């Protein structure tokens, strides 16, 4: 059982963290392989197979496949898709903005991470949207220190995103992670510094800024029941890591 911190967010033991680091390494390898395979002419379904191959070789389990019936081990969200795109027959083209989200389970412990990338040459605007998602995630990760609060994490993301003129969907956010992929608390992509639950050593959160290029926050879901797209048709980007509040600072568990 997870120990509850004073804040109410579970604090992971050394043993639990060992499994979460192992799951994180699998996710990092999935990212690496998918990134290398994503180029003009390939389908998003073929990227799902690349990720599935890593899961199988590492004797891990997917926490995406079968999640409320989700049919794949990655989400592949292209251009105006923000999150939850279903891999399929769509062929990637030069200039596409691809976001990939995936996770893994090792010995019952979860990791979850996402990245966005350009397919071959992309527009400077699209690249800036990707870079800003990475910058927002970095800023949030720097808040993952004992004594900081959830509001500090959200505020760090909000500052980077809104300073760049981008929007962010209000109904989607990061989350606690451990024995399940989605645990309490919600980790919102906005917040007030100094507010919210306190972070203690051993807390692990999945932090995931989602950016809307058009600057508004509105999204809608496609008829497939999954894909979330920007309401104004503008590009979107997404970045995520599973991050530990370590004794000496943040530790990214989903980095190779």
Residues near Mg ion, by CB under 5 A? 101, 112, 114, 206, 240
b/e for 46-81, b at 16 or more Cβ within 10 A? Answer: bbbebbbebbeebebbbbbbeeeebebbbbbbbbbb
Of 74 and 229, the one with the shorter C-beta distance to Mg ion is 74
Nearest to 241, CA basis, from 125, 103, 63, 146: 103
Kind of pairing, strands 109-118 and 174-176?
A: unpaired
Give the C-alpha distances (Å, rounded to integers) separating 243 from 9, 80, 249, 250.
14, 27, 10, 7
Of 135 and 204, the one with the shorter C-beta distance to Mg ion is 204
Minimum gap (Å) between residue 232 Cβ and Mg ion: 24
Both structure tokens of 82: 């923000």
Residues 137 and 207: beta-carbon distance below 8 Å: yes
Of 183 and 240, the one with the shorter C-beta distance to Mg ion is 240
Minimum gap (Å) between residue 174 Cβ and Mg ion: 6
Of 114 and 161, the one with the shorter C-beta distance to Mg ion is 114
Minimum gap (Å) between residue 189 Cβ and Mg ion: 12
Of 102 and 119, the one with the shorter C-beta distance to Mg ion is 102
Minimum gap (Å) between residue 60 Cβ and Mg ion: 15
Residues 64 and 75: beta-carbon distance below 8 Å: yes
Minimum gap (Å) between residue 74 Cβ and Mg ion: 10
Give SS3 for 123.
coil
Minimum gap (Å) between residue 41 Cβ and Mg ion: 26
Of 40 and 188, the one with the shorter C-beta distance to Mg ion is 188
Alpha-helix residue ranges (DSSP H) falling in 87-224: 124-141, 150-163
**DSSP assigned state of 8:** S
């Amino acid at each position: 059982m997870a120990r509850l911190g004073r804040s109410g967010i579970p604090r992971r033991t050394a043993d639990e963290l060992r499994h979460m680091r192992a799951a994180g390494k699998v996710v990092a390898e999935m990212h690496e392989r998918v990134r290398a395979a994503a180029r003009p002419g390939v389908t998003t379904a073929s990227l799902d197979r690349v990720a599935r191959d890593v899961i199988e070789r590492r004797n891990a389990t997917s926490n995406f496949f079968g999640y409320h019936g989700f049919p794949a081990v990655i989400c592949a969200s292209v251009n105006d898709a923000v999150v939850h795109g279903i891999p399929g027959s769509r062929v990637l083209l030069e200039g596409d903005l691809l976001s990939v989200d995936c996770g893994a389970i090792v010995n019952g412990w979860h990791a979850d991470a996402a990245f966005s990338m350009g397919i071959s040459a992309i527009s400077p605007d699209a690249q800036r949207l990707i870079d800003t998602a990475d910058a927002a995630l970095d800023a949030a990760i720097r808040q993952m220190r004992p004594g900081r609060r959830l509001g500090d994490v959200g505020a760090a993301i909000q500052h980077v995103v809104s300073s760049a003129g981008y929007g962010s969907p209000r109904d989607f956010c990061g989350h606690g992670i451990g024995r399940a992929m989605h645990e309490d608390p919600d980790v919102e992509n906005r917040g007030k510094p100094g507010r919210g639950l306190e972070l203690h050593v051993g807390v692990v959160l999945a932090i995931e800024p989602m950016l809307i290029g058009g600057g508004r926050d509105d999204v809608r879901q496609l008829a497939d029941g999954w894909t979330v797209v920007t309401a104004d048709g503008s590009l979107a980007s997404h970045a995520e890591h599973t991050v530990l509040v370590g004794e000496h600072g943040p530790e990214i568990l989903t980095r190779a």
